[in-house]
Amino acid sequence: MVATRARLQPTALIRQMSHKMMRTLLTWLTVAFLGIALTKGGVVHDRALKTCTLRPLGHGKDDTDQVEAAIARCGHFGTTVFGPGQYNITRKMTWDLVSSRVDMYGYLNFKPDPEYWLNANNTYRVIFIQDQASWFVITGHDFIVDAHASGGINGNGQTWWSFYGNRSRSDGDGRPVSLTLSNVTSGVIKDFRIEAQPFWCNAVADSQDVVYDGMYCNATNQDPLYAGQNVVPNTDGINTYRSNRVSLLRFDITCGDDCLAIKGNSTNIIAKDITCRGGNGIAFGSLGQYVDLPDIVDNVVMEDIKMLRLDPQVQPNMVSGVYLKTWTGSVHGSPPTGGGGGGGFVSNVVAKHVSLDRVTVPIHVYQTNGGQSGDQPSKLQFSNLTFSDWTGTSLRNTIVDIECSAAVPCPNIRFHDIDVAPPNGTAPSYKCINVASEYGLPACNATGTL
């Protein structure tokens, strides 16, 4: 356990951190040591005696009652242990965890019934942005949920993907997030597996001092009817929203959308050792969707990132390494499906040590999401973006495509050691539009305008 926690302090990262980031790291270490103390009964001696142990009731039987009863008894100042197997969950569920530990050696198996879950009464709406639904919410403080790389959630996503094969999808339509952390302070999710998420795999909202240390999500279509299609859209690895000091460590994400999505008012985020298999890459946004709610994203460090293209019969997309997007400055409709006109800023972002496998557009910034001809330019500004040590291959010769808003041009865009190969026989191309100042990539025209 102690050796595993040491991963939170890589020497190279510490050397480059500001004092502010060092304080953030110390906070995370406090959370980690709290977890060690809880496992040894070190906070209050008799807490170690308050243990609830579960075993699955068996095929076709409902485990929801016994799971809720165990968390109610041991979720505060106790330990809950799930033995191996599948625990059938048939209704929405919240765990309120306080100074406690959950060890999961089995899976919460959410019943494969899209029409039941799409009834708004059967899910929670604790994620404000785009009115997203959740079937499982964890809240509370000072807890660890450790799935030991052998437990987690079975989302039965194939039922959903085939159900929606010939149906339209939209934000806020009721498809549930598999695991939602809401109003959490000092929480750890460790070595957790989510199989076949029907929608977003994870979301963290309105939380602080959260550590994800080992997360596996796998949205892989098995229905031959949809071979060669992206029938698993919106299966993001995680969305962060209104959260501060969040650590995303050791993620392995197979999906048809954003591997990571950093949404509005996400600050002091570290992402390290991330593998993205298929999908759209790592996203910042979309931002600026709510005209009266500024989106602020500040101080994000991402390193040791791999983008891997899959067999196109399984997942045809591997779009970007990192892309950043906003709505335009005009308003079209209202959220969750429409909107725009929102302000704010994104600043102090570092993306380094990135390896690409045949992505479509390696580095992309655009501010026209949901836009129409004649729209006002976005009021949300990108600044202080650094892209360092990028290698691999691109399917197109445009390696960098940065198109900032004319209303708020992008200052201080920096590049170091960008060595991404375009297709054979083509020369790399770099585009910088409405970029106020750029360093390290002379071929990128920083004076162009839309």
Burial of 6 (0-12, 13-18, 19+ CB in 10 A): exposed
The DSSP-derived string for 171-188 is TTSSPEESEEEEEEEEEE
Element (H, E) at 149: none
Q: Which residues are catalytic?
A: 257
Pairing of β 132-134 and β 124-127: antiparallel
What are the tokens at 246?
């969040």
DSSP secondary structure code for residue 138 in this structure:
E
Within a 13 Å sphere around the CA of 173, how many CA atoms are in the beta-carbon half? 15
Q: 117-125: long-range contacts at Cβ-Cβ below 8 A with a sequence spacing of 24 or more?
A: 117/174, 117/175, 117/176, 118/173, 118/174, 118/175, 119/174, 120/174, 122/91, 122/92, 123/92, 123/174, 123/176, 124/92, 124/94, 124/180
DSSP-assigned letters across all residues of 53-111: EE----TT---HHHHHHHHHHHTBTSEEEEPSSEEEE-S-EEEEEEEEEEEESSEEEE-
Phi (first) and psi of residue 381, to 5 degrees: -105, 135
Sheet containing 124-127: order of strands: 124-127, 132-134, 176-177
Q: Token pair 């977890």 is at which residue?
A: 35
Integer Cα distance of 411 and 211 in angstroms: 31
Q: How far apart are CA 326 and CA 381, in angstroms?
A: 9
Tokens of 375: 């729209």
Element (DSSP H or E) covering residue 378: none
Report the DSSP beta bridge partners of residue 352.
Answer: 303, 388
d(CA 219, CA 94): 24
User: Hey, which residues does 439 pair with through a beta bridge?
Assistant: 414
Alpha carbon 366 to chain centroid, angstroms: 20
Q: Output the CA angle 281-16-282, nearest 5 degrees.
A: 5
Neighbours of 93 (CB within 10 A): 18
